[in-house]
Amino acid sequence: MALLTTEALVLRGYKLGETSKVVVLLTRERGKVRAVARGARGGRPRYQSALEPLSEVRVSLYGRQGAELLRLGEAELLHSAFRAGTRSLEAALFLSGCSELLDAFSSEGEAEDRVYRLALAVVEAAEKGASPELLGRYLEAWLLKLHGLYPPLDRCAACGGELPATGALAYHRAAHGFVCGSCGPASGPDLPADSRRLLVEFFRRPPDALGEAGPAARPVEAFHRDLIAAHLERDLRAPRVIREVARETGR
Ligand SMILES: [Zn+2]
């Protein structure tokens, strides 16, 4: 009997031997899980396109409770992210960044239904043609927030006082948050007023209602990179690739 039957998002896969793969799944019921997919490669691959990154699948997993590595039984494709990835190079890169980010933020054996639903909503918004740049910032903002790592936008992290309701925000690394004028000077980075408004929108709206990307998103990217690197103690690979491609294509 299967240890677990659950819906899952495929985060990534790597080769194992001649014909198998290890897949990393974000399961709805048990957080991140690694499983061996026998026969997933080779001349007649068993799972076909079900194991592509960000596909949503229903899987049966076999193995011992608490094992590091399970075995994949059936994998029924519920939804493929393929269409979202064909919209543009930018969209394809966004999706690869999306699985890297989800992988980095998820823990094994810990169900995070809100993260799961967030990931589904973001992939769906990408399919509908939402701006990959904004979706990237949106996903980062929510992953940080759901993990308790997003500093409040309205309170000074040093004195606890209320910050002015509008205007630029000054981040201070030592305080892990935004600080008021009397608690400064802040280490930075600074968030201009329009970037702050964008963040407020992120925390208010679903990902398919974000509008067009504009200059306000850039400072948010740098800010999130800082927060993510501090949390993971490393930089992610995909955002660097995206920046390089943007430079090459002159965007
Ligand atoms: Zn203060």
Centre of ligand 1 from the C-alpha of residue 192, in Å? 18
How many whole angstroms from 80 Cα to the centroid of ligand 1? 47
User: Strands (DSSP E) along the chain, which ranges?
Assistant: 4-16, 20-27, 31-37, 56-62, 70-79, 169-172, 177-178, 190-191
The pLDDT profile of the chain, 251 residues, written as one tens digit per residue, is 889 999 999 999 999 988 899 999 999 988 999 999 998 887 777 887 788 889 999 999 999 988 889 999 999 999 988 887 787 888 888 888 899 999 999 888 777 899 999 999 999 999 998 999 999 999 999 999 999 999 999 999 999 999 999 999 999 999 999 999 999 799 989 999 999 999 999 999 999 999 888 899 999 999 999 899 888 876 676 666 666 666 666 55
C-alpha 209 to ligand 1 mean position (Å):
34
C-alpha dist (Å) from residue 5 to 8, 20, 72, 100: 9, 21, 10, 24
Backbone angles phi, psi at 192, to 5 degrees: -60, 165
Angle (CA) 229 165 203, round 5°? 50
Taking the CA of residue 2 as centre, how many other CA atoms within 13 Å lie in the half-sphere pointing to its CB?
A: 13
The answer to whether the bond into 192 is cis (omega within 30° of 0) is no
Ligand 1 centroid distance, CA of 44 (Å): 63
pLDDT of residue 250: 58
d(CA 178, CA 197): 15
Question: 182 alpha carbon to ligand 1 midpoint, in Å?
Answer: 6
